[in-house]
Structure 1
Amino acid sequence: MKSNLFKSLPVILAGLFAGTAAMAQEPASTATPFRTWSIGVNAGVLTPLSPLGGKNDFSNNKSSLGYGLYIKKQFTPYFSLRLDGVRGKLKGDNAEAYESGLVNNSPVRAFDTELQYSGTLNAVVNLFNIDMFKKENVLQLYTSVGAGLAGYKPTITTAAGTSLYAGDKTISELIIPVGLGAKFKISDGVNFDLGWTITYVDGDNLDGYYRGSNDKYNYAYAGLEFAIGKGKQLAFHNPVAATYDEALAAKNAANALKGDLDAQKAENARLRSDLNSLLTDTDGDGVADKLDKCPGTPSATVVDGAGCPLKTPEKVVEKVVVTEEDRKVVAEAIKNLEFDLNKATIRSKSFASLNRVAALLVQKNFSLKLAGHTDNTGSDALNLRLSKARAESVKAYLVSQGANASRIEATGYGEAQPIATNKTAAGRQKNRRVEFTLY
């Protein structure tokens, strides 16, 4: 069942190649600016042991030819996923003593295992770029780790010289490869790849001899990697250097803008100096010195557009003459003025005399002061409001008859200015009044 995976591996690879070719044929407007897909081929040495230590089933492990193929997708400059397939042979015998000096008394003299397939999916991490200020480097170190399946058939030779097969079927085991390598960019599309992978097998069947510890093998290889598509390879792109270049460009742009700003400031200072010179007004008359034909004008002097004093005509004050007849008209209005009880409403019997006052104001352009007064009945605040309201009511009536509102002043004094005693009804009647003063 597990061996079917290797049989389907060519189909998977063909599908990935087809997808890669389709991406490479995309229009330039939608294609990525970097090459992110690549394929690689390699060949090297397979050895059935781990140099990192552990128990080895055979004292003399031999190196044999191995070869591999992979396809890789680069997601960032530092990370990619790689689908690897490796084949080859693993050999070893007990012709020598162990390095510890122990006598090799194994019942198995030698083994020859055909690694029919190993398919793994590996995460590959680029460790660093050699030159952090170079946008594309030619040397790159990387490490990888992954998991997958290996299918193999071991053949063992016993101490008596008999060759035995471990089984007719291919043995499939889980494997975990851990590797590191160095990649050299030959051109934009071709890299030289040196790598070394140690593969740990989840079983003790690889060499056909069970000793109770998991088997392992390593693969040291050299090969070529071919980037697919157009543009630079994302794996060799150095974002640190690109960011540095962008920062440097931004700094240069900022310096250029600063130079423009300094030049603009200098121009503004020159214009400000010219403007200050143009607007200088030494005598403070509102006319700049360059246009002032009468410099040294005294402060607060009204000047014309040339800065020279204006000749103002003397103001003619019209003399207001109030005759005895005028006073009689006002006195009659005062005498006939009546309001509704505790209100500012003028009674109609007062209209005739008020009409004559309004006509007098219009005819002679008099000014009139209206002063409202009350007796001491009620609160001070109420009396003040009532006196003010009655004075305003008289003013409103006179204005309605054509008098100039700006020449009429209405004031309320409440009970503060009595002209008779408030102890009698007659006195209180006299105190409830609106006084008219012509001027």
Structure 2
Amino acid sequence: MKKKLILLAAALPVLIFSQNSNPYGSGSTETKKFDNESRLFKDWAISVGGGGAFMQAADLTSFYDGKINWGWNAYVSIDKQITHTFGLSLNYSKGETNQKIMARPEWGVAVGHTKYDQIAVLGDVNLSNLMRRVDNKSEFKWALHAYGGVGIEGFTSTMRDEGMYKKYPFYIKQSLDQASVFWTTGLGLKYNLSRLIDLELRAMYVFSGDDAFDGSGTQGGRAYDENFDPATYMQIHPGRSDNAFTVNLGLSFKLGKSNRTHLAWFDPLQDIYAKTSNLENRIKDFVVCENGDKDNDGVCDDWDRQLDTPAGARVDGAGVALDIDLDGVIDLYDKCVTEPGPIENNGCPIVAQTSMSDNLVEEINKSLQGIDFELNKAVIRKSSYGILDNAADVLKGAQGQQFFVIGATDARGSVPLNLKLSKGRAEAVVAYLINKGVPASMLQAEGRGKSDLKYPECDPASNCPEWKNEANRRVYFIAK
């Protein structure tokens, strides 16, 4: 059992890989390896951009006293378009936010600054391509994109107020590593300037995951000693993540051959419509059976594989006359439609003629089965007379035929004795049949002893059961 399992495990990989002879497709004969030569579209780009950065959901924010404290943001990314609706980007961002808050009047206005570096992997869903209406045949120039991703960030933040941090600003530094993971999501509106360049307005929201991102202090810490009001800077905003957003204007430089369209700007539906329209314009009036049906078999000559089908012949879908038995004679002329036969016999099989004597011998031998003789004698038992009477009736109806009447014994006894006994029994059968009216000229007795055993394996007789030995003791006919 273990050996069978080992053989099965060894053969399984061969069986699996033998099922698919095509390494690039799922069975289509039109497939080929996908490489740079077979690409139809650009799918790589480098994007750069910049704009404003703003601290929003934090203890210190960029929106204070009805004014906006502007920060800045810049980014560069390598973009890979996977399909016409989805892509991936490796994005690096660098920027600075400026934020303010007043926790208590006596502390004055606290001013914070955050300088950050961020690396993220972004998923890019092309919403316009995904949800473009099938009946929208306008030029595809504008596209709305949805972004989402995760990354790591590093930042330094400072905060100064008119109280304790007037002379010694609060300072926090977070290294750019896995200790500070952030999430980001956003939207972008792209315009296809040319085959080489896209223009984009992009807004991104950043979930920093860090309560110290705005410069208000370390997670869970206090900005003042216990003599001060516990409502410290870190407790102004209830969340434990300082969040920001950026608004950027950028350019995407589409890499690849200049005559190719970028995959993000390819609309498969419009391509299908264009090709369908070309077909419609090319084939103005489709005429069925433009070349007619000259042989009147019901199959147009445009796709008729047998243009001279005989009149009246049934045909298949290709206009070929039917030949059900596949003998080369069409059914119209085949006299034996379901039986194959040669053309010279009108499609009917040639039946081998069996001579009358062969059939007669078979019939007589069947009727002679079961003849009994006295033990070691050539005397027919009375119980066998009826069998011989039937044989006589058959022979009298076959005038002009001649037969050998063969006697045989089993393997017991000597050869001379068996020859004598077998011939005597054959002569006894011949004498009985002549007595019943069979012409003597039709029959000739012959004894073969044990040289013609019906069951040759019964020599010696002890090798076989008695019924086989009895079957070897027989009389039978053969034609002369």
Percent identical residues: 18
Q: 1:101-112 residue pairs with structure 2 within 5 A?
A: 107=107, 109-112=109-112
Given candidates 289, 294, 302, the residue that maps to 1:262 is 289
- The structural deviation recorded for 1:33 is 1.8
- The structural deviation recorded for 1:32 is 2.1
- In 2, Cα distance between equivalents of 1:119 and 1:428: 117
- The structural deviation recorded for 1:150 is 1.8
Given candidates 423, 427, 438, the residue that maps to 1:433 is 438
Q: Cα distance 1:428–1:31, how it changes in 2: closer, same or farther (>3 A)? A: closer
1:204 alignment partner, SS class? coil
Residue 145 (structure 1) aligned with residue 172 (structure 2) = no
Q: Cα distance 1:38–1:386, how it changes in 2: closer, same or farther (>3 A)? A: farther
- The structural deviation recorded for 1:153 is 1.1
1:238 aligns with 267
2:24 aligns with none
Q: 1:296-315 residue pairs with structure 2 within 5 A?
A: none
- In 2, Cα distance between equivalents of 1:221 and 1:143: 15
Q: 1:259-298 residue pairs with structure 2 within 5 A?
A: 259=287, 261-269=288-296
Residue 162 (structure 1) aligned with residue 166 (structure 2) = yes
The structure where helix makes up a greater share of residues is 1
2:212 alignment partner, SS class? coil
Q: Cα distance 1:247–1:381, how it changes in 2: closer, same or farther (>3 A)? A: farther
2:184 aligns with 177
> Letter of the aligned partner of 1:214 in structure 2?
S
2:220 aligns with none
1:121 alignment partner, SS class? strand
- The structural deviation recorded for 1:92 is 1.5
- Stretches of structure 1 that go unaligned for 5 or more consecutive residues are 1-27, 96-102, 281-341, 344-375, 398-426
- The structural deviation recorded for 1:71 is 1.2
Residue 72 (structure 1) aligned with residue 101 (structure 2) = no
| TM-score of the pair, normalised by structure 2 | 0.48
- In 2, Cα distance between equivalents of 1:136 and 1:237: 11
Given candidates 374, 385, 393, the residue that maps to 1:387 is 393
Contact 1:40–1:70 (Cα < 8 Å) also in 2: yes
- The structural deviation recorded for 1:157 is 1.2
Contact 2:46–2:254 (Cα < 8 Å) also in 1: yes
1:219 aligns with 246
- The structural deviation recorded for 1:214 is 0.8
1:384 alignment partner, SS class? helix
Q: Cα distance 1:379–1:430, how it changes in 2: closer, same or farther (>3 A)? A: closer
Contact 1:155–1:163 (Cα < 8 Å) also in 2: no
Aligned residues between the structures: 274
Deviations 1:376-401 (A, max 9, x none): 9957675334432465484247xxxx
| TM-score of the pair, normalised by structure 1 | 0.52
Given candidates 25, 48, 52, the residue that maps to 2:55 is 48
Report the structure number with the largest CA radius of gyration: 1
1:16 aligns with none
Q: Cα distance 1:269–1:196, how it changes in 2: closer, same or farther (>3 A)? A: same
Contact 2:116–2:155 (Cα < 8 Å) also in 1: yes
Deviations 1:244-285 (A, max 9, x none): 4455667789x78963x422455554999xx99x989xxxxx
- The structural deviation recorded for 1:45 is 1.0
Given candidates 183, 196, 204, the residue that maps to 2:203 is 196
2:19 aligns with none
Deviations 1:177-226 (A, max 9, x none): 11111111010111010110000011111111123521000001111111
Q: Cα distance 1:377–1:220, how it changes in 2: closer, same or farther (>3 A)? A: same
